[in-house]
A = this chain, B = another copy of it.
Amino acid sequence: MSALKVYLAGPEVFLPDPVASTRKKELCQKYGFEGLFPFDNTIALDGLQKRNQGNEISQANETLIRKSDCVIANMTPFRGPSMDVGTAFELGFARGLGKPVFGYTNDHRRFKERVVAAYGPTRQIHDGRLEDCCGMAIEDFDLADNLMIDGAIYSATGNNVVVPHKSRSEYYSDLEGFEACLMLARRYFGVA
């Protein structure tokens, strides 16, 4: 039987150094999986308009997720208090396809803490909810990110997002949380 396939979602695609993705694939192998990284798509983009290039990459990534048995997402905050939106889309896509999704973050703070730090000062409003500096409500559910993300992971697999006790200094490329997700995936698929 060929190895179960894991789609490696996360902001690694934006890192200058592709080493993190190489290490992720090696770890997948160590745990008996095959890692599929968006860059695996070798598609012809020459001569296409920018917009069409974007659409081709999107299609190729969707195809890769359809081929995968699960998704492990790096949810480390990206350009704001929340995770990368492309990664959030991919988690949702996999969940819609009925595939199990796992997630980790290298930031130890709860979502609420990060929003307060970045978008304070806050204000308590009439119904007890907390508002940020722009008058937008702050979610406070003791979760790692927006409730749709944590909720999907929990509903799909019974797991919470993997969060470190202390934020990792290799903010995007530390792989301890990723390795923990591989172990959860092994248990999920009954290969532990």
Residues of A within 8 A of B (CB): 11, 13-16, 49-51, 53-55, 57-59, 61-62, 78-86, 88-98, 115, 118-119, 125, 131-132, 135-137, 139-143, 145-152, 154-155, 160
Contacts and interface: CB of A to CB of B under 8 A. Distances in A.
A62 B92 CA distance: 10
A91 B61 CA distance: 15
Contacts of A91: 89, 92
Nearest to A132: B79
**What's the number of copies of this chain in the assembled complex?**
2
A154 B62 CA distance: 13
Contacts of A81: 79-80
Contacts of A93: 92-93, 95-96, 152
Contacts of A95: 62, 89, 92-93, 96
A168 to B, nearest CB: 15
A136 B55 contact: no
Given A80-B80, A89-B91, A16 B55 contact: no
B14 A154 contact: no
